[in-house]
C-alpha cells in the first residue's frame, strides 16, 4: 500500500514543476487584537513575500495559514502559524515532517528586541535568545540549525516595563515606517538566500 503522505505530496505538487523544498515561516499571534504589534512582524514579512511572489497565504494546513510560492528558484511553503507564538514549533514540525524538510531548510522570520526597527540580522543557527516562538521551534524540530531573519522592533524604553506588554504593543508611527521599509526588502533578501547567494544577502541586508 502506497504511503498516504507520498500520495498527498504528489497531489500537492500537481501544477507545480518543483516540489516544496523549504519552509518559510513568519512568527506571530492570530487575531485582530494582535495585528500591528511588535510580536507580529513575522506575519508582515510573509505578507510581503507572498505579495512579491504572487502567492496567497490563505489555506489552513498544519495549524497554519499557508501558501506555496517559488522564491529564488526554490518551491517554498509560506507559513503563518495559528497556534499562538508559544506553540509555533508544533505547526512548523508538522509541515517539516510532511514534506521531509530538514531543519537547515527552515527559514523563520521573527521579532527581536535587541535591534532597532528597520534592522535585520540573518543567522543560520543559534539559541532562542529568550524568544518563545524560537524556543518552541527548537524543541519541536530537535535542532537549532534553522535559518532565522531576526527583525528589529526596538528596545523597551524602561527596563522595568513588562516584556510581554512591550512586544504585544504597537509601533509608533516612525517605528512602523522603519519596519515597513525593511519588510519591503525582505523578498529580495530571501530570494538571494534561496538562490545560494547567502553571503550577498547577509552583506546587503543583515545589519
Q: Which of 26, 29, 39, 80 is catalytic?
A: 39
In whole angstroms, what is the distance from residue 151 CA to residue 76 CA?
Answer: 20
- Residue 158 annotated as catalytic: no
- Grid coordinates standing for 75? 518551491
- Cα distance between residue 24 and residue 47, in whole Å: 11
Length in residues, the chain: 207
Phi-psi region of 95 (alpha: psi -120 to 50; beta: other; left: phi over 0): alpha
Query: Under a CB-based contact definition with an 8 Å cutoff, are residues 68 and 86 in contact?
Result: no
- Catalytic positions: 39
Amino acid at each position: 500500500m502506497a504511503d498516504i503522505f507520498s500520495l498527498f505530496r504528489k497531489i500537492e505538487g500537481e501544477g507545480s514543476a518543483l516540489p516544496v523544498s523549504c519552509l518559510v515561516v513568519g512568527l506571530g499571534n492570530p487575531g485582530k487584537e494582535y495585528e500591528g504589534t511588535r510580536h507580529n512582524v513575522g506575519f508582515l514579512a510573509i505578507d510581503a513575500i507572498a505579495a512579491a511572489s504572487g502567492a496567497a497565504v490563505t489555506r489552513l494546513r498544519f495549524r497554519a495559514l499557508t501558501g506555496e510560492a517559488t522564491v529564488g528558484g526554490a518551491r517554498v511553503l509560506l507559513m503563518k502559524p495559528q497556534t499562538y507564538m508559544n506553540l509555533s514549533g508544533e505547526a512548523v514540525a508538522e509541515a517539516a515532517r510532511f514534506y521531509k524538510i530538514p531543519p537547515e531548510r527552515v527559514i523563520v522570520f521573527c521579532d527581536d528586541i535587541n535591534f532597532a526597527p528597520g534592522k535585520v540580522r540573518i543567522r543560520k543557527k543559534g539559541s532562542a535568545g529568550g524568544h518563545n516562538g524560537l524556543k518552541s521551534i527548537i524543541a519541536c524540530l530537535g535542532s537549532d540549525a534553522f535559518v532565522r531573519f531576526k527583525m528589529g522592533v526596538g528596545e523597551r524604553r524602561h527596563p522595568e516595563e513588562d516584556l510581554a506588554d512591550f512586544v504585544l504593543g504597537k509601533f509608533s508611527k516612525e517605528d512602523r515606517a522603519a519596519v515597513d521599509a525593511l519588510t519591503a526588502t525582505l523578498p529580495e533578501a530571501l530570494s538571494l538566500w534561496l538562490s545560494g547567494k547567502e553571503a550577498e544577502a547577509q552583506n546587503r541586508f543583515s545589519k
